[in-house]
């Protein structure tokens, strides 16, 4: 078995803004060749963690290594060694996309081959146009090209698919899988739960500045269990199913219908079902969205696009 090679190592990382919450005692390792999903609503600490890794802001305490370097001592070298797309990506409006991207490469002292033309064609970006003439989605494409154009071993992406249409989102997912196959590492912050579920190997959930879970995405899902949607011939109550060990939730979805969340002891549920006349049964894994909301159910909801929102709407 191949020994994992750490690309990002964080120990007890804390950033305090005085009375405002930042991040608190973050411990995290991201290994070479994995796609890591960093989940949390706006204000949870995702962008603060990323900006600290890039030495765009300084930590209050704790240590970190990115590509084997301490960002607080070698910030410029760290930034040159990776690809980065911020959540609030901004550009020089009067430049063409091509000139802007070439300028970035020069600032990175990159002298090898690049992928500007290839990626621009792939994302249907007209790089001869001035950036001020581009739509929001096309400006986001400029940011994506800038993150991948020099084939870095590590790419850090903060809300990368903002403004992209569904077709371009799918193209982005394909690119991520290709980067992983090439042995590169992607650290991805996102609100879009289906996105993380589709492309990530592991997921970390940050809540109120603290990293509350880090788990292989398949193990994470298996711990939460399955969802049974059952239709009975007769009207049915919920109490007999709620009392079964391993049943985490039972809801009535109609006069003869129950939704049963099962984390273990499927046998016990089946035995109880056998006591009734079952007309229909649907059985599926709970989605990552459902699991995530277990940590945020009192504070957060998900909008129609699958983005995390709070009572005040989507915010930073």
Q: How many Cα atoms within 13 Å fall on the side-chain side of residue 38?
A: 26
Q: Which residue has the higher pLDDT, 289 or 112?
A: 112
Among the listed residues 22, 26, 23, 80, the one whose alpha carbon sits nearest the alpha carbon of residue 54: 80
User: How much is the pTM?
Assistant: 0.78
Q: What length is written for the chain?
A: 316
- What gap in Å lies between CA 193 and CA 287, rounded to an integer? 9
Pairing between strand 6-17 and 61-66? antiparallel
pLDDT reported for residue 151: 95
**Percent of the chain scoring above 70 in pLDDT:** 88
| Residue from 55, 81, 56 nearest 68 by CA | 81
Rounded CA separation 306/169 (Å): 14
Taking the CB of residue 19, how many other CB atoms lie within 10 A of it? 5
- The reported pLDDT for the residue numbered 286 is 66
Q: Does 2 score more than 60 pLDDT?
A: yes
Nearest in space to 141 (alpha carbons), one of 159, 119, 156, 157? 119
pLDDT, residue 301, reads 46
Q: What is the pLDDT of residue 291?
A: 66
Q: Which residue, 261, 258, 262, 265, is CA-closest to 281?
A: 258
Neighbours of 40 (CB within 10 A): 27
How confident is residue 204, by pLDDT bands cut at 50, 70 and 90?
very high
Strands of the sheet containing 82-85, edge to edge, are: 82-85, 154-158, 185-190, 35-39, 202-207, 210-216
Give the span between the Cα atoms of 203 and 216, in whole angstroms: 6
The DSSP letter of residue 33 is T
Q: What is the pLDDT of residue 296?
A: 64
Round to whole Å and give the CA distance between 238 and 227: 15
Task: Give SS3 for 233.
Answer: coil
pLDDT at 316 > cutoff 60:
no
Closest by Cα among 274, 265, 225 to 246 = 265
Helix (H, G, I), strand (E, B) or coil at 66: strand
Q: How is residue 258 annotated by DSSP?
A: E
pLDDT band with cut points at 50, 70 and 90 for residue 237: confident
Contact 93, 130 (CB under 8 A): yes
Neighbouring-strand partners of residue 26:
13
Distance CA 251, CA 238 (A): 7
Output the pLDDT for position 302. Answer: 46
Query: What is the set of domains in the chain, with CATH numbers?
Result: 6-221 (3.40.50.300), 226-284 (3.30.70)
pLDDT at 82: 96
Span 159-188, mean pLDDT? 95
Tens digits of residue pLDDT in 51-87: 999 999 999 999 999 999 999 999 999 999 999 999 8
Instruction: Determine the angle formed by the axes of helices 166-181 and 136-148, rounding to 10 degrees.
Output: 10
Beta-strand relationship, 226-232 and 278-285:
antiparallel
Angle (CA) 296-195-172 rounded to 5° is 150
Write the Ramachandran bin of 306: left for phi over 0, alpha for psi from -120 to 50, otherwise beta: left
């Amino acid at each position: 078995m191949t020994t994992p090679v750490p690309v990002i190592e964080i120990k007890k990382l804390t950033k305090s803004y005085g009375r405002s919450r930042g991040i608190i005692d973050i411990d995290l390792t991201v290994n070479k060749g994995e796609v890591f999903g960093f989940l949390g609503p706006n204000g949870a600490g995702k962008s603060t963690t990323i900006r600290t890794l890039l030495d765009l802001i300084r930590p209050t305490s704790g240590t970190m290594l990115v590509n084997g370097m301490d960002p607080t001592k070698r910030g410029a070298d760290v930034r040159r060694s990776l690809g980065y797309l911020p959540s609030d990506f901004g550009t020089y409006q009067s430049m063409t996309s091509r000139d802007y991207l070439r300028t970035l490469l020069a600032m990175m002292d990159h002298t090898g081959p690049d992928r500007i033309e290839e990626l621009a064609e792939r994302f249907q970006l007209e790089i001869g146009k001035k950036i001020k003439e581009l739509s929001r989605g096309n400006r986001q494409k400029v940011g994506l090209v800038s993150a991948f154009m020099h084939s870095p071993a590590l790419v850090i992406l903060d809300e990368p698919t903002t403004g992209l249409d569904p077709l371009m989102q799918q193209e982005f997912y394909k690119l991520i899988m290709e980067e992983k196959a090439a042995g590169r590492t992607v650290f991805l912050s996102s609100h879009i739960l289906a996105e993380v579920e589709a492309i990530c190997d592991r997921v970390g959930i940050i809540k109120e500045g603290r990293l509350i879970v880090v788990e292989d995405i398949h193990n994470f899902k298996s711990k939460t269990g399955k969802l049974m949607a059952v239709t009975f011939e007769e009207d049915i109550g919920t109490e007999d199913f709620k009392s079964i060990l391993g049943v985490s939730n039972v809801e009535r979805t109609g006069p003869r219908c129950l939704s049963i969340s099962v984390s273990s002891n499927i046998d016990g549920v089946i035995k109880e079902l056998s006591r009734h006349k079952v007309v229909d049964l649907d059985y599926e894994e709970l989605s990552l969205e459902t699991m995530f909301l277990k940590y945020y159910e009192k504070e957060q909801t998900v909008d129609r696009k699958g983005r995390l929102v709070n009572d005040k709407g989507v915010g930073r």
